[in-house]
A and B are shown apart, each in its own frame.
Chain A
Amino acid sequence: MGLGKSLVATTAIALIAASGASAQTLTIATVNNGDMIRMQGLSSEFTAATGINLEWVILEENILRQRVTQDIATSGGQFDIMTIGMYEAPIWAERGWLVSLDGLPEEYDIDDILPAMRAGLSFEGSLYAAPFYGESSMVMYRTDLMEAAGLEMPQEPTWDDIAAAAAAMTDRDNNINGICIRGRAGWGENMAFITTVANSFGARWFDEDWNAQLDSPEWLEAVTFYNDLLQNYGPPGAANNGFNENLTLFQQGRCGMWIDATVAASFVTNPSDSTVADSVGFALAPNKDGLEKRANWLWAWALAIPAGTQQEEAAMQFINWATSKDYLELVAAREGWANVPPGSRTSLYENPEYASVPFADMTLRSINAADPNNPTVEPVPYVGIQFVAIPEWAGIGTSAGQEFSAMVAGQLTPEQALARAQALVTDEMEAAGY
């Protein structure tokens, strides 16, 4: 015998020793995107420095949202850190589901977080989720096609400029669509985009007494404009296109313009994936002639600690590491400045090395142009730019989104789509007791 038994014994001892040495393990729920995966790769540095092990649960955005809500609402305690968006942060904080991040140490420099991000992730003055990366939306356009059309894109275009450029660049024979924008139904899909268009046309979801406003002339003008853009200059089947579909089209050179998340800039300028990497220009999201509000949104993926975790202190340590200035430096040193998670800290944009990244300036300007507390021309009772930060929004936004998607598919006119959306939003809000 001998060998066999002693092998088992030593293995057992080694296992016990190992589990004793690494007593602490944090479970982190997150989404699958480039910046998060990069953080996962670099997190061994955190473990080496603190001895805290990390378990990763990576899920698709909608599954993650459902999974995390279910766990937090039932105090399941499965996660010590969760990735949440700007929509959830204030709602969950209000319900007492999240641990306030006021306890972050001084060297974290909370005042360095971009003001718009901090505003969107706070509740009653306290930060509840630390932005890992943030985004706004902007215009990405093909410099070569604009040149061929004899046009120049202003840095601050109006919707008229966009429509003119889309008309000029559309070349059906060569399969080039003037503009690619979202059409697929969903509160985070087409409704994010349509809501920003509506904001810039002077429309709003609700008046100050929570009455739905989709029957206003501003909404009709905005939705008609959006629909005309897609019908005349958009790609075929646009009613099914979300971020990834448009990204694919743009990278293959099928779009003259694409208005979407600023984070896409690093994808379309990456020569290993994009065939148009060296001919992409950026401009601010458009406004309507005569109105101040621009159609840019604001979003952040942020790290938060669910109330009820047994490991609050360690979780705080991790957030301090992952959203710190040092982390940005770490990514820059390992993978270059273009791969640093954007949109979270002021100091990043003051860094001269980062300024050389082609889309840095426009990303910052887009984020700064967004004000989640004051999203529309007329006053509103809600927070949020491309969404309304109330629990009912996910349902309302998605049902309304289906009407607008049907409109893009040619099944409804803008008037019909708006009338239906108005009716269902009114019903839903009444049922919810507003």
Chain B
Amino acid sequence: MARSVTTQRKTLNTALAWGIGLVIFFPILWTILTSFKTEAQAIADPPVWFFFDWTLENYRVVQERSNYNRFLWNSIIIAGGSTILGMIIAIPAAWSMAFVPSNRTKDILLWMLSTKMLPAVGVLYPIYLIFIQLGLLDTRIGLTIILMLINLPIMVWMLYTYFKEIPGEILEAARMDGAGLREEILYVLTPMAIPGIASTVLLNIILAWNEAFWTLNLTAARAAPLTAFIASYSSPEGLFYAKLSAASTMAIAPILILGWFSQKQLVRGLTFGAVK
């Protein structure tokens, strides 16, 4: 039975959604606005909203002081690399757990998730020492591996829930029609799993892009991504709010744009598996 939705209720819902959206987006909006102010305007009380002399000065200073492109490139490599590497491991793992579960599958899944419950700082020193031994400190490959490892449980879990949604009967039907394992995966499973895989990839890129514990602790000058770029503009003595905002805006811009263009997949992926 279709529920009847009154116009009034629809309007109310829309208004509410916009309201919540604005509240969530406000800090980002404020950061972007502040990045176009002078340092004095940035701290003005009462705050100035839109009517100030918009300036690109902060962006000029930030460009001059830091090599943005290098940080950006590191971020792209690390976020992209850890995602690709992770998917290569997570897809087969989730596939086997979803379609050929063993008695221990549930335990393994829980155990994987439990690694996320340990505070990262608890293993900082062991990992730091291992990185020294292997010569991985301040390298992109080292960071790629570590970010892949910390995000792997999430990837496997997400993919597992998507794969679980695919009814086994469809695969059986394909087998009845004479499909081998290769055809089964390529022509039946993959097309159905693509939305799930896409949203896992997107979410993982975002997580890896924003990761600020390992990326700050395991890098120095060479492999530092955009998180380190932002951190370099925070200051305990002296006011750098406008420049900090400009740096933040530059750091989040790529991921914001990516998120904007892929919001359909993201929303679909994140609500997938709920009651539809």
Q: Is A272 a contact partner of B40 (Cβ separation < 8 A)?
A: yes
* A254–B46 alpha-carbon span in the complex (Å): 12
Are the C-beta atoms of A74 and B128 separated by less than 8 Å? Answer: yes
Q: In whole Å, how far is B196's beta carbon from the nearest beta carbon of chain A?
A: 37
Name the B residues within 8 Å of A174 (CB-CB).
none
Q: Chain B nearest CB: distance from A35 CB in Å?
A: 9
Cα–Cα distance between A149 and B236 once the two chains are bound (Å):
33
CB distance from A255 to the nearest CB of B (A): 13
- List 19 A–B pairs whose Cβ atoms lie within 8 Å, in order of A's numbering: A33-B237, A55-B221, A59-B216, A59-B232, A60-B231, A60-B234, A70-B125, A74-B125, A76-B132, A76-B137, A78-B137, A79-B220, A242-B236, A248-B45, A252-B45, A264-B237, A267-B238, A267-B239, A273-B239
How many of A's residues come within 8 Å of B, CB to CB?
42
Q: How many A-B residue pairs have CB under 8 A?
A: 92
Interface flag for B8 (CB, 8 Å): no
Complex contacts, A58 vs chain B, CB 8 Å: 231-232
> Binary interface profile of A, 350-382, with partner B (CB < 8 Å = 1, else 0)?
000000000000000000000000000000000
Indicate whether B7 reaches chain A with its CB closer than 8 angstroms.
Answer: no
The reply to whether B40 and A75 form a contact with Cβ atoms under 8 Å apart is no
Q: Check B192 for interface membership: any CB of A closer than 8 A.
A: no
In the complex the two chains form, is A252's CB within 8 Å of B43's CB? yes
> Which residues, 270 to 286 on A, are CB-close (under 8 Å) to B?
272-273, 275
Asked if A40 and B238 sit within 8 Å, CB to CB, the answer is no
The answer to whether A63 touches B138 (Cβ under 8 A) is no
Please name all residues of chain A whose beta carbon is closer than 8 Å to the beta carbon of B217 when the two chains form the complex. 67, 70
Contacts of B159 in A (CB 8 A): none
**A residues near B, CB below 8 A?**
27, 29, 31-34, 37, 40-41, 55-63, 67, 70, 74-79, 188, 242-244, 247-248, 251-252, 254, 261, 263-264, 267, 272-273, 275
Residues of A within 8 A of B124 (CB): 70
Residues of A within 8 A of B222 (CB): 55
B250 to chain A, nearest CB (A): 15
**Within 8 Å of chain A (Cβ to Cβ): is B39?**
yes
- A55, A58, A67, A244 interface centre (most CB from chain B within 10 Å): A58
Minimum C-beta distance from B173 to chain A (A):
51
Do residues B65 and A40 form an inter-chain contact, with CB atoms below 8 A?
yes
Q: CB distance A243 to B221 under 8 Å?
A: no
